[in-house]
Amino acid sequence: MAYLFTSESVSEGHPDKIADQISDALIDNFLAFDADSKVACETLVTTGQVVLAGEVKSKTYLDVQQIARDVIKKIGYTKSEYMFEANSCGVLSAIHEQSQDINQGVDRLTKEEQGAGDQGMMFGYATNETEDYMPLALNLSHKLLQELAALRREDKEITYLRPDAKSQVTLEYDDDNKPVKIKSIVISTQHDDFADEPTMLAKIKQDILNILIPRILEKNPQYAYLFNDEIEYHINPTGKFVIGGPHGDAGLTGRKIIVDTYGGKGAHGGGAFSGKDPSKVDRSAAYATRHIAKNLVAAGVADEILVQVSYAIGVAKPMGIYINTYGTKKVDLKDGEIAKKVEEIFDMRPYFIEQRLKLRNPIYSETAAYGHMGRKPETVTKTFTSPNGEQKTMEVELFTWEKLDYVEKVKEAFGL
């Protein structure tokens, strides 16, 4: 039976995403100067105020206030009328040392015996409905906001945009579980105040339809078949969106976990990613299960795969690995038998996940907006500066869990 499916995304200027980006900038700076840092930091943003809290075990010292301000400035909160501005907002730090009770369960005599930083279950998902093996509705939702942010930064074709924005895409699927068209698109974007409200709303709708959507189609021609004249567009449906960002809504680290992952497809274990170093399996194992799912789908094991792994705090070996192929498998094995093979191919102990995916590097700021999954793996050079003026320049690999580097191993193991 045909059905509808919806996913949403939020921009880098959304309050919760500001919080995520600050928390991950702290992670990157700690890891740049001390790769063994253990960090769990949360951020709260509200009108004119940033509050940092959490636990850290590290040999380095950071100017956390300046790091937070740099992130806010980069996002685009640089005007006093936003009521949240990089140079003038207050930054309060309540970060303290990590509990030794937790640390003793993670650090062991040998690194290979490193225990999981917490209990819990983590999920990874992949589908072949897009070229990056991500759910299509979420993929489109991200792209809409990434392009909107590009237009805001260019400040040429659309000059009134402010940083906060949300998108939502509803797709229609056919009886064969294939997307056939877009049913509706919702875009709410913060904007400068207009003297004439009806004119303002008409102008925003016109610019979204005549500037943003054509740019999306130009850069993503593979999705042209989904667009049609019958799409329901809901653009700034409240009619006005001047008050936004942390002044409109308080933001907290870790409140956009579905935007960060698969847009409601597959499953989620409940643990957020941002602000956590890779000893926290909420983050590292979620990346590892995505890596597994993507490589299995790319190798042809199934069209759609969900992978679950679970841990006990302080214990290295996972409690179990679960696979669901949703009836799309291409191999003559039950899902439980596929899980057994996965266990043989991928070592899911925390230390080995960190090594395989190179997670002890400062690679996390780039994950904190527009999704942690489905992104392009690439090598970049990053420079960090400590409070005493020491500079550290590093070449790091981003989004290593998106690499298709295990496809041949999977094919060999499954006889494909």
Binding residues: 14, 16, 42, 55, 98, 164-166, 240-241, 249, 255-256, 272, 276, 280
3-state secondary structure of 90: strand
Whether residues 296 and 228 share a domain: the answer is no
Question: 348-369: string of b/e by CB count within 10 Å (b at 16+)?
Answer: bbbbbbbebbebbbbbbbbbbb
**Cβ contact 241:11 at 8 Å:** no
Whether residues 147 and 183 share a domain: the answer is yes
Q: Provide the residue type at 37 as one letter.
A: S
Going by C-alpha positions, the residue among 326, 310, 308, 330 that lies closest to residue 410 is 330
Question: 112-143: string of b/e by CB count within 10 Å (b at 16+)?
Answer: eebbbbbebbbbbbbbbbbeebbbbbbbbbbb
Tell whether 276 is covered by a domain: yes
pLDDT in tens, the chain (416 residues): 699 999 999 999 999 999 999 999 999 999 999 999 999 999 999 999 999 999 999 999 999 999 999 999 999 999 999 999 999 999 999 999 866 655 555 665 567 778 887 899 999 999 999 999 999 999 999 999 999 999 999 999 999 999 999 999 999 999 999 999 999 999 999 999 987 878 889 999 999 999 999 999 999 999 999 999 999 999 999 989 999 999 999 999 999 999 999 999 999 999 999 999 999 999 999 999 999 999 999 999 999 999 999 999 989 999 999 999 999 999 999 999 999 999 999 999 999 999 999 999 999 999 999 999 999 999 999 999 999 989 999 999 999 999 999 999 999 999 99
372: CATH: 3.30.300.10
DSSP labels for 4-20?
A: EEEEEEE-TTSHHHHHH
Q: What DSSP designation does 59 have?
A: S
Binding residues for K(+): 42
C-alpha span between 137 and 158 (Å, rounded): 25
Whether residues 223 and 297 share a domain: the answer is no
Q: Which two tokens stand for residue 254?
A: 């870790």
Q: How many domains does the chain have?
A: 2
**Cβ contact 15:243 at 8 Å:** no
Tell whether 347 is covered by a domain: yes
Binding residues for L-methionine: 55, 98, 249, 280
What residue numbers bound the domain in which 163 lies?
A: 3-10+136-243
Whether residues 169 and 276 share a domain: the answer is no
Tell whether 55 is covered by a domain: no
Whether residues 207 and 287 share a domain: the answer is no
Tell whether 380 is covered by a domain: yes
The reported pTM is: 0.96
C-alpha span between 180 and 172 (Å, rounded): 6
DSSP labels for 173-223?
A: E-TTS-EEEEEEEEEEEEE---SSHHHHHHHHHHHIIIIIHHHHHHH-GGG
Whether residues 188 and 283 share a domain: the answer is no
Binding residues for ATP: 14, 164-166, 240-241, 249, 255-256, 272, 276
Q: What DSSP designation does 116 have?
A: B
Whether residues 320 and 402 share a domain: the answer is yes
C-alpha span between 281 and 223 (Å, rounded): 35
Nearest-10 Cα torsion for 394, 399, 400, 401 = 150
Whether residues 291 and 229 share a domain: the answer is no
Whether residues 336 and 381 share a domain: the answer is yes
C-alpha span between 166 and 236 (Å, rounded): 10
**Cβ contact 327:234 at 8 Å:** no
C-alpha span between 184 and 171 (Å, rounded): 7
Tell whether 316 is covered by a domain: yes
Whether residues 124 and 160 share a domain: the answer is no
Whether residues 358 and 279 share a domain: the answer is yes
Active site residues: 14, 16-17, 42, 55, 166, 241, 249-250, 255-256, 276, 280, 282
**Cβ contact 39:95 at 8 Å:** no
| Beta-sheet strands, E only, within 355-398 | 378-385, 391-398
3-state secondary structure of 167: strand
Binding residues for Mg(2+): 16
Q: In the Cβ-directed half-sphere of 196, how many Cα atoms lie within 13 Å?
A: 4
Going by C-alpha positions, the residue among 369, 374, 302, 325 that lies closest to residue 136 is 374
C-alpha span between 92 and 353 (Å, rounded): 34
